[in-house]
Amino acid sequence: MRRLSPIMMAAVAALIFGTVAHAQPAQAPAAAPPPLPDYGPNISLEQAMKAGNAALAEAKKLNVPEAIAVVNTDGRLVYLIKMDNVRSIADALAFHKARTAAMYKVPSKAYEDRVAGGGIGITALLLDDVIASAGGIPIISDGKIIGAIGVGGGPLSSIDAQVAQAGIDALK
């Protein structure tokens, strides 16, 4: 029987022990996100109309048919605009985007980003009433959520979000 040379034994040992996982240096934990805003009083009809009509003006400027929904803090419809020639599902999309933003206290785009990231982010699709598409934005007054606006029916969710932002900006 032939004996293994010291060089061969060193190579085998390197293969065996070289594949063992090495401890990684500890990373500092990620900073906690800022707390979500509290709910305030519900949006008034006057405020909802002002936001909705500003969003409508933006949609007209872009020549994009849209549906625009404004909801209160409970996700209940306060004001709805449905432009001529908008897709049949647009009002449902607008309402659910607004409801997502109001109920979960974040823009609906946050869920679009989570789903697009894959992995565990797709579990966002399991949440009730979540539309993982940009276009729903919480309406904040005096640091508190008073409702949300949702826009649906445009050719891209980024355009829906632009139209919704015009509604938000009108209340500032």
CATH of the domain at 149: 3.30.450.150
3 belongs to a structural domain: no
Band of pLDDT at residue 33, cut at 50, 70 and 90:
confident
pTM over 0.75: yes
Higher pLDDT, 140 or 124: 140
Q: Is residue 95 part of a domain?
A: yes
Banded model confidence at residue 126, pLDDT cuts 50, 70, 90: confident
Domain presence at residue 84: yes
91 lies in a domain?
A: yes
Structural domain that includes position 59: 45-170
Does 66 reside within a domain? yes
Answer for the pair 147, 70: CB distance below 8 angstroms, yes or no.
yes
Q: What is the mean pLDDT of residues 43-51?
A: 98
Q: Are 53 and 78 in contact (CB under 8 A)?
A: no
Instruction: Please tell me the least confidently modeled range out of 98-102, 107-111, 125-129.
Output: 125-129
Does a structural domain hold residue 38?
no
Please, are residues 135 and 151 in contact by the beta-carbon 8 Å criterion? yes
The verdict on residue 100 lying in a domain is yes
pLDDT beyond 70 at 2: no
Q: Count how many domains the chain has.
A: 1
The reply to whether 18 falls in a domain is: no
Give 17-26 pLDDT, tens digit per residue.
444 444 556 6
